[in-house]
Chain A
Amino acid sequence: MLSFILRRILIAIPTVILISIFVFALQKLLPGDPVLAMAGEERDPATIEFLREKYRLNDPIPVQYFTWVGNALTGDLGISLRTNQPVTELMAEKLPVTLQLATMAMIFALVIGIPAGILSAVKKGTVTDYVANVVALSGLSIPNFWLGIMLILLVSVKWQLLPASGYVPFDEDPVRSIQVMIMPAFVLGTALAATLMRHTRSAMLTVLTSDYVRTARAKGLSERRVILKHAFRNALTPIVTLSALLFGELIAGAVLTEQIFTVPGFGKLVVDAVFNRDYAVVQGIVLVTAVGFIVMNLLADVAYVLLNPRLRS
């Protein structure tokens, strides 16, 4: 088990290096001068030149890259061109926000997706199955931004049930923190719930027709026990892998959702940084996200092995 994990970590290292080069190069290919974008209306040439020097934008690109990597290895990801805040500080501020959003969205996805998938598999071909499928398909096809705006208009403006947008830190006011996050998490979670539901359904269908399920039934076990204990447990393996992969998708989806609901998280940070050509921020976020994604996959593989003893040899 340990050697398996070590091997996976070793494979991850070149991936991270490649990603860092890729991100850095891609940024440099973007048109738009960061200092000019930052200067906005006040474009005093002397100040612009000074800032180019200060942020080492006049150095050759490979030199810029190695300076950045060197600093990154010591935990220094530079400072935001726009607000002068250290990038690590910005990320530390934003990470809990996006993690809270992603976790709540995942809970929505799991709570809606898995039971719906099981139900739809068990009641295959019935009205329940069709309804569940139609709902799932809608969940997949309704665009996030539309659902978001509609929810804001209905839930916040019309019924005044939940705050329209923003963010409250969990340690400041847990109740309000969750209230503010319900709509964005729901919007982000629905698309995933649909995917999860479809996969749970097909995994369950495969398992339900297998021999051991028939045996379990023949033993006279209750249907509930057969489905949850025997069938679902085995259908769970692919779902766990999928959930880990979906977590990456959640982070990506958060970019849009955070924009709609003005949630000050990772996604909003990176989008604004791209538009402002705030290089250090973009690079830092992509690097950290990539590492995070690799770790998630690693954890998924480990969980996969734990759930499926056949892979443990």
Chain B
Amino acid sequence: MTLSRLTLAAALLGATALGAQAQDLRIALQSDADVLDPDQSRTFVGRIVYASLCDKLVDITPDLEIIPQLATEWEWSEDGTSVTFTLREDVTFHDGTPFNAEAVARNIERSQTLEESRRKSELSSVTGTEVLGEYEIRFDLASADATLLAQLADRSGMMMSPDAFDEAGADFGLDPVCSGPFEFDERIAQDRIVLTKFDDYWNAEEINFDSVTFLPIPDTTVRLANLQSGDIDILERLAATDLGQAESDGGINVESAVSLGYQGLTFNVDNGERGDNPWGNDARLRRALSLAVGRDIINQVVFEGAFAPGNQPFPPNSPWYDDDHPIPERDVEAARALLEEAGYADGITLEVQVPNTTVPLQLMQVVQSMASEAGINIEITSKEFATLLQDQSAGDFTASQIGWSGRVDPDGNIHQFMTTEGGINDSGYSNEEVDRLLDAARTTNDQAERQEFYNQARDILNEDAPIVYLYHQTWIWALDDDIQGFVPYPDGMIRLEGVTLEES
């Protein structure tokens, strides 16, 4: 066969293949997911993959209301110590195992008992489950737990095929089997995760892709370049600095939602010996720093105005935000006065540890220059993230620039940081009244009552300022303009129900 005939044959083959090509959606992620086992996993990008792979008992709306997914309805007992779920009856796992109450019971048991499980604390209030019927199950709780449904709207509520996890044990993540709209096909570490459409999905008519491919592309410029060159369809976490470029590109749409998390400065108040320093001992200094920085200025200078300034663990648009403590105006004079009152009229130095990546460093430089006008001399110590985390956890720091990705339930943004026994209380902060209020907020399902507990805790925390909150990140997605029906969610997930791609 001559070369030209070969080429022709190849071209024809290529054309046929193109005609029959299944529609694939390509999504670029900022980093590679970790192990794909909802009980063991811990990364944000992992959760984005799960949004297509693993259904949960319940889901959320963009306004953070809890809505049915695998459970169609639920009913709390009078005292709030048990909740009974009614389940969908038309669901099977990707391996054909039927989904029912028994499967839910085994999933909860695994999340609580698998040694590698990271879901134990999320489900710590659950003392047991009782299968009441084929599609009815009751969760018994040690005490009322207002946070439970929100946990079940995330990894703790993701249902895996019990047969599959019994067989694979801790290695389940190498070949995950759930019941979501797509099933696992293949994964090449650091390159791609491919999922294919699950034809027996209970909501299959809402799913318009034959497969979805997740591509980890860490560099934000390269991620955008891939979208511009047509190599991907959606990217998550567009850098605020790239907004202008993306918006001026006719072929790209930009969507955004203020995240549930926060960024700020965590002070070492009483975590080991290093907590014993002026900044750890005197809340007036911490409040002075809070007054010295202009949160709007940070947002404009570092984030092109795309993020949300903040001063609480919840963003200002959250229903849990305490309006009695609005974002303070920058007030250098008031900051100076506080310093003087604390005995540092001539100024004081503060060492802040910062992750050695672009955005945190820029942020701290802006904070540094504003603080210096109030007489606070900030020394920036930049550390690689793993080191920063270890030092922070060990109490080897004065102040640390760190944040939290955020949780649907307000408890997740505050309890573990600000209660004496909190699992991530790196600040070493301890206040009996705050402990009481935050514990109480956990155990009532009455939203107004919870709000009141959080507001009261806020009054104390605002004075003590163990964490000075600075801003809330905005999730920014850039999409090919052929993508229709994308809905931005504050949890940063990409839900593909109703999303279509019309090749123009």
Measured between C-beta atoms, what is the minimum distance from A83 to chain B in Å?
5
Q: Closest chain B residue to A46 by CB distance?
A: B120
Measured between C-beta atoms, what is the minimum distance from A275 to chain B in Å?
7
A204 within 8 Å of B by Cβ?
no
Is A51 within 8 A of B389, CB to CB?
no
Q: Which of B166-174, B267-275, B462-470 contacts A (4 or more CB under 8 A)?
A: B166-174
Residues of A within 8 A of B230 (CB): 160
Given the contacts A268-B190, A272-B32, A164 and B384 also touching, CB distance less than 8 Å: no
B121 within 8 Å of A by Cβ?
yes
Is A264 within 8 A of B188, CB to CB?
yes
Is A44 within 8 A of B190, CB to CB?
no
Give the residues from 80 to 118 in chain A that come closer than 8 angstroms, CB to CB, to chain B. 80, 82-85, 90, 93-94
Is A164 within 8 A of B225, CB to CB?
yes
CA distance A261 to B387 in the complex (A): 27
Is B222 within 8 A of A41, CB to CB?
no
Q: Closest chain A residue to B42 by CB distance?
A: A40
Is B43 within 8 A of A40, CB to CB?
yes
Given the contacts A44-B120, A166-B231, A33 and B190 also touching, CB distance less than 8 Å: no
Residues of B within 8 A of A85 (CB): 174, 189
Contact of B34 among A44, A54, A83, A94 (CB under 8 A): A83
CA distance A119 to B423 in the complex (A): 68
Q: Closest chain B residue to A145 by CB distance?
A: B219
B351 within 8 Å of A by Cβ?
no
Given the contacts A84-B173, A93-B188, A272-B190, A32 and B384 also touching, CB distance less than 8 Å: yes
Residues of A within 8 A of B188 (CB): 93, 264
Given the contacts A164-B225, A262-B219, A50 and B115 also touching, CB distance less than 8 Å: yes
Measured between C-beta atoms, what is the minimum distance from A91 to chain B in Å?
10
Is B189 within 8 A of A47, CB to CB?
no
Is B423 within 8 A of A41, CB to CB?
no
Among A34, A43, A51, A261: residue with most chain B CB under 10 A: A43
Residues of A within 8 A of B229 (CB): 156-157, 160, 163-164
Give the residues from 215 to 229 in chain B that come closer than 8 angstroms, CB to CB, to chain A. 215-219, 221-222, 225-226, 228-229
CA distance A157 to B231 in the complex (A): 10
Measured between C-beta atoms, what is the minimum distance from B40 to chain A in Å?
8
Is A44 within 8 A of B389, CB to CB?
no
Residues of A within 8 A of B116 (CB): 47, 50-51, 54
B88 within 8 Å of A by Cβ?
no
Is B387 within 8 A of A31, CB to CB?
yes
Is B117 within 8 A of A157, CB to CB?
no
Contact of B424 among A43, A156, A163, A165 (CB under 8 A): A43
Contacts between chains A and B (CB distance < 8 A), count: 133
B20 within 8 Å of A by Cβ?
no
Is A165 within 8 A of B226, CB to CB?
yes
A231 within 8 Å of B by Cβ?
no
A199 within 8 Å of B by Cβ?
no
Is B121 within 8 A of A44, CB to CB?
yes
B276 within 8 Å of A by Cβ?
no
Residues of B within 8 A of A45 (CB): 423
Is B174 within 8 A of A262, CB to CB?
no
Given the contacts A83-B189, A149-B221, A33 and B423 also touching, CB distance less than 8 Å: no
Contact of A32 among B34, B228, B389 (CB under 8 A): B389
B390 within 8 Å of A by Cβ?
yes
B500 within 8 Å of A by Cβ?
no
Residues of A within 8 A of B390 (CB): 31-33, 36-37
B241 within 8 Å of A by Cβ?
no
Given the contacts A37-B386, A83-B35, A260 and B226 also touching, CB distance less than 8 Å: no
Is A163 within 8 A of B228, CB to CB?
no
Measured between C-beta atoms, what is the minimum distance from A232 to chain B in Å?
32
Residues of A within 8 A of B117 (CB): 47
Among B37, B170, B218: residue with most chain A CB under 10 A: B218
Enumerate the 9 nearest inter-chain pairs by beta-carbon distance, A residue then B residue, closest first.
Answer: A32-B386, A264-B191, A37-B386, A156-B229, A264-B190, A31-B387, A40-B42, A164-B225, A32-B387
A-B contact pairs, 24 of them (CB 8 A): A31-B386, A37-B386, A39-B118, A40-B42, A41-B404, A41-B405, A42-B118, A83-B35, A84-B35, A84-B40, A85-B189, A156-B226, A156-B229, A156-B231, A157-B225, A160-B229, A164-B225, A164-B229, A165-B217, A260-B219, A262-B217, A264-B189, A269-B190, A277-B386
